[in-house]
Chains A and B, each alone.
Chain A
Amino acid sequence: MLQRSSAEAISDGSGLRFRMKRLTVLASAALLLVLLAAAWIQYRQPSPVALTPALTGQVEYCLTCHGDLPEISKSHPVQTFGCVRCHGGERLALDADLAHSSMRGGANPADLSVVEASCGGSDCHSGAAVANRDHIQRVKTSIQATYAGAFAQILYTFGAQPDLNARYGVYAVQAYQNTNPRSLPYLLAFNPDQTTSPAIKAFLEKCQTCHITAEPMPGGQYQRYTGCSACHTPTANRDPQQLVHQLTTAMPYTQCNTCHNRGNYDLRSMQFQPRTEDPSDRLHDYYQPIAQFTRCEWTLDCVDCHTRQEAMGDGNLYGHKKDIQYIQCRTCHGTLDELPLTGKVESPDDLAMRLAFLNPVIDLKVGDTILVTQKGEPLWNTRQLPDGTYELFEKVTAKRFTFRPVKGTACLQKPDQQESRYCHECHVVQR
């Protein structure tokens, strides 16, 4: 029982109590409302889509938002690789900014600055040379990446170096291999501050878009990514706003033409003159108007002849593209005196069998005889036929061609004139 004293009145005004009660009811209703709001927000969340790739065993939730992306290639199935193995990123986050915060290379994990973490590994693309898994080491030293040839030519032309030996590239790099007398031990990164020549400065400003670490010029015809994706992700003439999620070894000529056959340089004005004609078919689109070429050079794609070492390097550092480019007409067609070089597919683990498995345009079998290059690289999309002719399957379209060797024909070749330009004298295509 409460003791009341006359001096102290207990506050119990009914008006105050009613107000308090009403406020309390309102506050409780508000609490219930916000709790319901919380429940509603929770159940509006998209349900997470889990993927546990076989390679990592760690669950990822990227597919919650990116489930409609196409598989990047048959050799990189998402059930095996997942997304994070190549791209990085926060595998458990469902908030876009957080999930993408630790991605390598932004949207392109194949950029050479991050390619080792994304594509590397001894079982993947930075393994041993004998296992044919040293792609990254070779690409990083290849002339399409270092741009060493362009630097050597420009610096020599404008008096910044005394000879055509390459000393500089776009980045400093040491040779991965040293198996060629023309190979260099290292290249330095060219520092713009070490030149005052306006021509060389113009070169540094205007002519740096055609090596694979550089962003290309604006325009659909130049559209490509950097690093490995520069060649292996077909982007040419597609909408630049649309990201392309594809890797392939069957690159059409248009992908090579994001840098090649795009125009000419004028050394006097240090200007690039882009091709301006508007070709309507492959014959006129393939090469520049000044070029001469035979029929196979425009009906086939570049990758049907040019080899892996030519495109990705052999690990040596070179200062001129002619040190690595070696494919000739004779590689496939032979000469008047010699048949083209061939080799036999000995085992299912042969490089030729692996490459044919990756791109099955040809049903290569152990025991088949295929053409090989002077350096021993297998032309795995070719095969010798029992009657002495050869067949070739186009890598992009699987179209089949047959051809004869030069030996035994009425060809007018001289033994010491075996370069392609001599074949062009008779076999050039008229546009």
Chain B
Amino acid sequence: MRPSFFHHLHPPTIPAIQARWRYTLGAGGLAVFLSLVLVVTGALEMFYYVPTPENAAASIQALTFLVPFGGLVRNLHYWAAQILVLVVLVHLLRVVFTGAYARPRRFNYLLGLFLLVICLFLDFTGYVLRWDEGIHWALVTGTNLVRSIPAIGPGLYSMLVGGSQPGAATLVRFYAWHIFGLTLVLILVGGWHLFRVRRDGGIAVPPPEARRDHQRITRFELVRREVLAALLAAVGLIVLALAQPAPLGHSIQAGISTVADGRAPWFFLWVQQLLRLGDPFLWGVLVPLGILAWLVIIAYLLPAARPQELGAWFPRGNRLAQLSVALIVLAILGLTLLSLLQARPA
């Protein structure tokens, strides 16, 4: 058969060892699929969502309850977003624990870290767009953390919030970031990331002289596998969306707070726990940035896996990097669990 556009997006053949589920977990591809779902469902939601404080929560309620399949579209968007954050983290861990960030893939690894941050910001801005009681604490705290940065903080805060405190201007700006600013960056940098995968020789595996398995698969086979993965992911996503609706509360009413405890969104619960330790700038900004900086450092300053070790989990060469990342992940998981286990007041 003559290869289609989608087939041409892939190399004519790739080594079979690059396409094994057990090696890559399919995480990168799944992230691309989920991003596509997000763009499509997000575009559909734009027909109904109104980015003003008076109407935001009500417009989401109208979409959820009164528009045919509106609830499904919203739930798909919500779950695709949360699963994407998890999948991107799994992809990062896979890359670290297989040493795949070694030369020449170090720059692509930086692009990936950048994409992780963009994803988290997309999830956070989307969360704020609900403009209901549940997001109130997160919005105030998150923007105040920005303000706590020395020297540039107040300026950044003004730019982000559009006023002296979160209000109508904030909602419009977060909406602009979410549907355009961050999405554009995601598409451009994501495209660059995918290009670099190909330019760097595809998914990290040992060089041909160090391989035992020399089998190759065609682009047709590769696309078939991707389609299968996409189908399975779609089924799982729809089942999740049907079984568990996205959260929704009543709109923020000035002067009245009906939640007794403020909660960060789940992916920032660990930051909420850190903030209990003391200075907000130190624990809320510097520590997370420090973790990001460490993730950069392990690629450039720590020993890397040797080329012949690639293509397998837990190579010897970058054990120090693996260990440090494992500790960081366990710490973040532990803080998140601590936050979840704390009893919510009635």
A: which residues have CB within 8 A of B? 2, 7-12, 20, 23-24, 27-28, 30-31, 34-35, 37-38, 41-42, 48, 61, 90-95, 98, 101-102
Contacts and interface: CB of A to CB of B under 8 A. Distances in A.
Interface string B215-259: 111100100110110011011001100100100111001000010
A30 B235 contact: yes
8 contacts: A8-B216, A24-B227, A38-B72, A42-B68, A42-B69, A48-B65, A98-B248, A102-B250
B235 A10 contact: no
A92 B61 CA distance: 6
Interface string B1-29: 00000000000110010000000000000
A11 B242 contact: no
A93 B66 CA distance: 8
B218 A2 contact: yes
5 A-B pairs with the lowest CB-CB distances in the bound complex, closest first: A27-B231, A94-B65, A92-B61, A102-B250, A34-B238
A28 B228 CA distance: 8
Given A9-B214, A11-B217, A34 B66 contact: no
Nearest to B63: A92
Given A2-B12, A8-B216, A20-B224, 6 more contacts: A2-B13, A2-B218, A11-B16, A20-B221, A38-B238, A101-B258
Nearest to A88: B250
Chain B interface helix/strand/loop/mixed: helix
A7 B250 CA distance: 65
B255 to A, nearest CB: 12
A49 B242 CA distance: 23
B242 A38 contact: yes
A210 to B, nearest CB: 29
A277 B64 CA distance: 57
Given A11-B216, A92-B65, A41 B224 contact: no
B29 to A, nearest CB: 15
A26 to B, nearest CB: 9
B242 A34 contact: yes
A3 to B, nearest CB: 9
B228 A20 contact: yes
B176 interface: no
Contacts of B62: 92
B178 to A, nearest CB: 22
Contacts of B227: 24
B8 to A, nearest CB: 15
Contact-residue bracket for chain B = 35 or more
B228 A27 contact: yes
Contact of B231 (A24, A48, A95): A24
Nearest to B230: A27
Given A23-B228, A27-B235, A101 B250 contact: yes
A93 B132 CA distance: 13
Given A20-B228, A27-B232, A48-B66, A93 B218 contact: no
A50 to B, nearest CB: 9
A9 B16 CA distance: 10
B138 interface: no
Contact of A42 (B13, B72, B225, B253): B72
B259 to A, nearest CB: 10
B250 A10 contact: no
Contacts of B245: 95
Contacts of A91: 58
Contacts of A27: 228, 231-232, 235
Given A10-B13, A98-B248, A101-B249, A20 B225 contact: yes
Contacts of B225: 20
A8 B234 CA distance: 34
B66 A90 contact: no
Nearest to A34: B238
A242 B66 CA distance: 30
A8 B215 CA distance: 6
B66 A92 contact: yes
Nearest to B68: A42
Interface string B180-205: 00000000000000000000000000
Contacts of A30: 231-232, 235
B215 A10 contact: yes
Interface in B60-84: 61-62, 64-66, 68-69, 72
Contacts of B12: 2
A7 B215 CA distance: 9
A42 B235 CA distance: 17
A259 to B, nearest CB: 31
A31 B218 CA distance: 26
Interface in B16-68: 16, 58, 61-62, 64-66, 68
A116 B69 CA distance: 39
B148 to A, nearest CB: 32
A98 B235 contact: no
B305 to A, nearest CB: 24
B285 to A, nearest CB: 34
A41 B217 contact: no
B89 to A, nearest CB: 25
Contacts of B232: 27, 30
A98 B61 contact: yes
Given A38-B69, A92-B65, A24 B235 contact: no
A61 B61 CA distance: 11
B284 to A, nearest CB: 30
A34 B248 CA distance: 24
A94 B67 CA distance: 12
A12 B232 CA distance: 23
Nearest to B256: A102
A28 B249 contact: no
Nearest to A6: B214
Nearest to B228: A24
Best-buried of A28, A61, A93 by chain B (most CB within 10 Å): A93
Contacts of B221: 11-12, 20
A11 B3 CA distance: 18
Nearest to B16: A11
Nearest to B250: A102
Nearest to B12: A2
A31 B249 CA distance: 31
A35 B237 CA distance: 11
Contacts of A102: 250, 253, 258
Contacts of B235: 27, 30-31, 34
B228 A9 contact: no
